[in-house]
Amino acid sequence: MGMVENIFPVFKGMLEREVKENRLKQRGVVVWLTGLSGSGKTSIAIAVEQELSGLGFLTQILDGDNIRAGLNSNLGFTAEDRLENIRRIAETAKLFAHCGVITICCFVSPEVNMREKAKQIIGEGDFYEVFVNTSMETCEQRDVKGLYKKAREGKIEHFTGVNAPFEAPLNPFLELKTEGYSVMECASILVNAMMDRIKLK
């Protein structure tokens, strides 16, 4: 008999999502930034958060390295662990969104099925996929964390873009082609695209 059979989720009496959103004067959503390592996901997310905060919105960033250092520190990089990583992140993001928080997720999430799983958990109406489209060459030139170099040297297996594929989104809510644009310009494009979806009318 599995543990799950003895779990009984309780929702009765809890404040409704609408009450929390009205309190915050905003709508909870999940903005899911996907792209290669070094594409600018986290930098854009931070700039978006700063811009939204200046406008009076409450946000939360969920970043790949931060999550793996804490919540998912027990997971590796096997196919199963990577999918479980995304599942846990999506469940966490869903909780934030249901509290009315604008949740910005920064994860390579290289496979379409991973992002579809996240959308399924979070709910299609709350999930906004943003493709941070930066060329492999630019990402590798930046190599802020030295990961591409290690992957080229064979020190990192299954590294997206080098020895593992990245499946670009087929129909993202927004595609940010970062080359030729500053981080702040990319952030403003994203904020403007989201404004009608996060602002309560």
pLDDT of residue 190: 98
DSSP state of 126: T
pLDDT of residue 1: 42
Rounded CA separation 29/48 (Å): 14
pLDDT of residue 6: 65
Contact 37, 160 (CB under 8 A): yes
Question: Would you name the residues annotated as active-site residues?
Answer: 109
Q: Give per-residue pLDDT as tens, 13-30.
A: 678 999 999 999 999 999
- Location of structure tokens 């997310």: 45
Q: Give per-residue pLDDT as tens, 64-95.
A: 889 989 988 999 888 888 899 999 999 999 99
pLDDT of residue 14: 77
Mark 65-82 as b/e (b = at least 16 C-beta within 10 Å).
eebbeeebeebeeeeeeb
Rounded to two decimals, the pTM is 0.89
Rounded CA separation 44/106 (Å): 9
Residue 35: both structure tokens together? 């792209």
- Domains, the chain, ranges and CATH? 24-193 (3.40.50.300)
Q: Residue 97: which residues within 8 A CB-CB, separation 6 or more?
A: 28, 29, 30, 103, 122, 126
Rounded CA separation 173/191 (Å): 13
What percent of the chain has pLDDT above 90?
66
The average pLDDT across 167-195 equals 96
- Location of structure tokens 């509290």: 99
* CB atoms closer than 10 angstroms to residue 25: 12
Between 112-122 and 79-98, two packed helices, what is the crossing angle to 10 degrees? 30
pLDDT of residue 21: 96
Rounded CA separation 69/51 (Å): 26
pLDDT of residue 179: 92
State the burial class of residue 33 (Cβ atoms within 10 Å of its Cβ: 0-12, 13-18, 19+): buried
pLDDT of residue 79: 82
Rounded CA separation 88/73 (Å): 12
